[in-house]
Chains A and B, each alone.
Chain A
Amino acid sequence: MTQQPRPLTQADIDREIAEESAAYAKRIADGEPVAHHPDRGYAPYRSSVLRHPKRPLVAVKGDPELIELHTPVFGETDVSPFDADLTRQHLGEPLGERITVSGRLLDRHGRPIRGQLIEIWQANASGRYAHQRDDHDAPLDPNFSGVGRVLTDDQGGYKFTTIKPGAYPWRNHLNAWRPAHIHFSLFGDAFTQRLVTQMYFPNDPLFAYDPIFQSVIDPSAKGRLIATYHHDDSVPEFSLGYRWDIVLDGPGATPFEAEDADDEEQNK
């Protein structure tokens, strides 16, 4: 008879997270560059173990003719006026703490990415998704679906009104809880800038215990996943204001931008 394996505890995961962080610190000390993104294989996040390629990715050199340097386009037909206010999508008011999340979508050169689609999805105030397979024993909110979308404006700005999502348990290990977060999906000026990520809230006590948040090991990179509270963005008698700017990776999309870069090079 094979023995039942002991369930993974938080202490097991904590140890693995500490080992990964120590190994990263050593790589940095040895002169490796800062890693902005998580590795696809991050053992403390058990779902990643069988789902990351073992072979190295094949480098494709930048080339303005490649389809990946173009991008899908989205316009006014892709959004509706209701989409940016997740508290107005049903007849009643959703339960929970109302928040306003705003920021700018930028490329690595600090240039705004205009007219691009930002999609968000999230759990409700009690930490339950409006998803058939989410069987977390917390109430669904009939007045909250948790789906939003908006096009960025001329300054790359976006703004959502929503409800602060709750923390929720998941089954990575015994007593695994996810910090409150909002999922973001972003396109860019090129298909190579595509990004799916999560925005977290400041001072969450669950950060240290969560292998998904911790998969971004570099401390400054981790910091870029966390929104800041901006009192001036809070709406009197209505909502608390959070601000989160998003920077997309990847090469510049168009020859026009390459010329821009050349000009700046010459003006140095």
Chain B
Amino acid sequence: MTSLAPTPSQTVGPFYGYALPLPKGGDIAPEGDPRAVAVHGYVYDGAGQPVPDALIEVFQADPEGDAAGAPGSLRREPTTGRLNGRDGLTWTGFGRIATDPDGHWVVRTLPPGAVGEGRQPYLAVVVFARGLLHHLHTRVYLADQVEAAADPLLSSLEPARAETLLAKPERPGVYRFDIRLQQGEDGAEETVFLDFAQH
């Protein structure tokens, strides 16, 4: 069977801000849905400094565990080419957010459903940034909505490492999830990043 060598990864660089982010890019939940929650946090580098030029992408199942989102995340106006953003009604399951000057990001979404029997629900996340030559995969589990012991990934990690994948309830409907690209000098735990390579 043919096996082609892959095209190598390169950094997203600092100057994607006029190209990739989109209006309402973090609003995955349809407008007005009473189930909507916010997941937010900061991205930090190894010195504990916020990363103001990171790009976060989220892909997730809907609350019923259906992973087949519709197109329309990056809607364009066909007559002018202007980026429209979302229509506010369609569930696409995809979000894209650039961190702000303080390294902060937020998505407004619906709690995901588990995909498959005996699975725990989560948001799949990739992180891009200036200085990051190859993006990083991680996951956000909503801490009060998962049975960590029942999840194959969470249960395989040391408890302190598994903690880095849990978004903590901050107040009703709001979860906090910080991403640490590297273990900081303050001893804070580096986020668990995932490798999907199959050999």
- Interface residues, chain A, with chain B CB atoms under 8 Å away: 34, 36-40, 42, 45, 47-55, 57-62, 65-68, 70-83, 89, 106-110, 117, 119-121, 123, 129-134, 145-147, 149, 183, 185, 191-192, 194-198, 212, 215-216, 220-222, 224-225, 246-251, 261, 264-265
Contact = CB atoms under 8 A, between A and B. Distances in A.
B29 interface: no
Given A147-B19, A191-B59, A194-B126, A40 B134 contact: yes
Contacts of B59: 67-68, 70-72, 191
15 contacts: A51-B45, A54-B183, A55-B192, A66-B115, A72-B94, A78-B73, A117-B74, A121-B18, A147-B18, A185-B12, A195-B135, A197-B7, A215-B10, A224-B7, A250-B196
Contacts of B82: 80
A133 B6 CA distance: 32
A38 B46 contact: no
A62 B197 CA distance: 8
Contacts of B60: 67
B61 interface: yes
A183 B13 CA distance: 9
Interface residues of B, dominant DSSP = loop
B137 interface: yes
B153 A60 contact: yes
B149 interface: no
Contact of A45 (B80, B119, B131): B131
Given A36-B5, A36-B8, 17 more contacts: A38-B9, A47-B130, A50-B45, A53-B181, A53-B190, A54-B182, A67-B112, A77-B71, A109-B3, A129-B15, A129-B18, A185-B12, A185-B20, A198-B11, A220-B5, A222-B8, A247-B4
Contacts of A83: 76, 81
B192 A58 contact: yes
A127 B124 CA distance: 35
B73 A40 contact: no
Nearest to A68: B124
B10 A108 contact: no
A135 B57 CA distance: 27
Contacts of A250: 196-197
A247 B182 contact: no
Top 7 A-B pairs ranked by shortest CB distance? Answer: A47-B131, A65-B116, A75-B71, A121-B19, A82-B81, A72-B94, A57-B195
A225 B198 contact: no
Given A52-B182, A58-B153, A121 B16 contact: yes
Given A38-B133, A83-B81, A131 B15 contact: yes
Overall SS of chain A's interface: loop
B72 A77 contact: yes
Interface stretch (B34-42, B62-70, B167-175): B62-70
Contacts of B20: 119, 121, 185
Contact of A53 (B76, B124, B193): B193
Nearest to B52: A133
A108 B132 CA distance: 23
Given A51-B129, A52-B132, A57-B195, A194 B57 contact: yes
A89 to B, nearest CB: 6
Interface in B77-109: 77-82, 92-94
